Amino acid sequence: MFDLIVRNARCAGISNIAMDIAVKDGKIMAIEPSVDAKAAEEFDAEGFLVSSPFVDSHFHMDATLTYGRPRVNESGTLLEGIALWGELKPLLDKAEIKSRAHRLCRLAIARGNLAIRSHVDICDPDLVAVEALLEVVDEIAPYLDLQLVAFPQDGFLRDPNAKEQLIRALDMGVHVVGGIPHFERSMQDGSQSIVELCRLAADRGLMVDMHCDESDDPLSRHIEMLSQQTVHFGLEGRVTGSHLTSMHSMDNYYVSKLIPLMKEADIQVVANPLINITLQGRHDTYPKRRGMTRVKELVAAGLNVAFGHDCVMDPWYSLGSHDMLEVASMGLHVGQMTGQAEMREMFNAVTINGAKALGLDHFGLEIGKSADFVVLQARDEIEALRLSPTRIAVFRRGSKIASQPKQISTVTLGDEVSEVDYLI
């Protein structure tokens, strides 16, 4: 007797033949063409796609949903966004940070996103956002895995208090060591920050996730140092390079040396397509650079590439609804990832690759893993990318925590009335 059986599920990454998924005690017990057993609850997936949940591998929960406070970003640029964040920070308090974070988590869950890695700015001496978001981590844990990165927005070395505050944030329970080497005063300081932060992570057994080379400058090469220090400290597979936009502009010969170094260190690559495409290349006239890292080359080299939303309605980005399929679609288009296997990899970039980058071993449509999955009104991953379809149901540990009616439009053309469900 199972707790739940999901019938007629086309399982992402497994088979395009409909299968049954059996669940007990919050875990997947069987994925078979036909499970001949009873369950306390059955759910008919009607041949639609069932996927491992979406994962947002890079987000800023402390800034999200502040659109219009104290004013909007009129120019839509990175510099006005930074100025706006400086104006906004003194207005934030713990209760309202928590309220926005909870609102975002509910939006995420409705979209089938059950894991978010959020950077949290530790440059506030009172660490109000750290305190607020650590409480949210615990409160939302039954439904969503929220992972926090101690992010020194004003520079680990450049801000005289950042070092002490970052360590304090880790002591309070923040999970991952952050950094921003390209924002330090010099290349040398950037390198020094990488050494110190990797040592800190190694000493504490933590993962690392740095905003790294978020710049159009082809000579911003901190990812080289990050890869080297990852190997030096034995942190292979546990270090994420976020953004890596300068790789877009680097010399091809240099990249031919760099990517094998990144591979040796098993660097987790996180691109943020919506933000990279809008914030980078702003100094260009034409040709205008796209500003996203080399997703195609990194995937081809066998690196794990995941995507983040980065921002939703905050000082840097006035748009977004935390739909990770919108992110994947943008990454697919910008990176020209239009091959069949490449498109599926773009779906993976917002699902299982994200889980790998975050170290969430319990995610995945596999026997023994947590019964966390989303039912989409599409028949395969490529159709899901095309339609960004309705999330018919979202399951966490075998319990349905979100649902939405299937989307069907009625079209009336004179006497002819037809129903359109967007599936071809």
- Catalytic machinery residues: 214
| Calculated CA dihedral for residues 182, 186, 187, 191, nearest 10 degrees | -80
**Least distance to Fe ion from the beta carbon of 316, Å?**
8
**Least distance to Fe ion from the beta carbon of 307, Å?**
12
Quick one: DSSP state of residue 292?
-
Residue labelled with tokens 């028949």: 379
Q: Are 375 and 401 in contact (CB under 8 A)?
A: no
CA-CA distances (angstroms) from residue 102 to 97, 112, 279, 374? 9, 15, 27, 20
Query: What are the residues binding Fe ion (CB under 5 A)?
Result: 310
Residue labelled with tokens 């983040």: 308
Residue labelled with tokens 């880790």: 170
d(CA 190, CA 180): 8
> CB nearest Fe ion: which residue?
310
d(CA 12, CA 10): 6
Structure tokens at 185: 């005063």
The b/e string for 410-419 (b: 16+ C-beta within 10 A; e otherwise) is eeeeeeeeee
**Least distance to Fe ion from the beta carbon of 100, Å?**
17
**Least distance to Fe ion from the beta carbon of 85, Å?**
11
**Least distance to Fe ion from the beta carbon of 195, Å?**
22
Q: Are 175 and 207 in contact (CB under 8 A)?
A: yes
Our CB check for Fe ion shows the closer of 52 and 276 to be 276
Our CB check for Fe ion shows the closer of 115 and 384 to be 115
Our CB check for Fe ion shows the closer of 319 and 408 to be 319
Residues in CB range of 62: below 8 A, 6 or more apart: 92, 97, 101, 118, 120, 121, 129, 132, 133
Our CB check for Fe ion shows the closer of 127 and 244 to be 244
327 φ/ψ angles, rounded to the nearest 5 degrees: -60, -45
Our CB check for Fe ion shows the closer of 213 and 310 to be 310
- Whether the bond into 152 is cis, omega within 30 of 0: no
**β-bridge pairing 416-420 and 409-413:** antiparallel
**Least distance to Fe ion from the beta carbon of 310, Å?**
5
Our CB check for Fe ion shows the closer of 145 and 310 to be 310
Sign of CA dihedral 24, 29, 33, 38: negative
Residue type, 419: E
Our CB check for Fe ion shows the closer of 152 and 364 to be 152
Q: Are 209 and 119 in contact (CB under 8 A)?
A: yes
**Least distance to Fe ion from the beta carbon of 67, Å?**
17
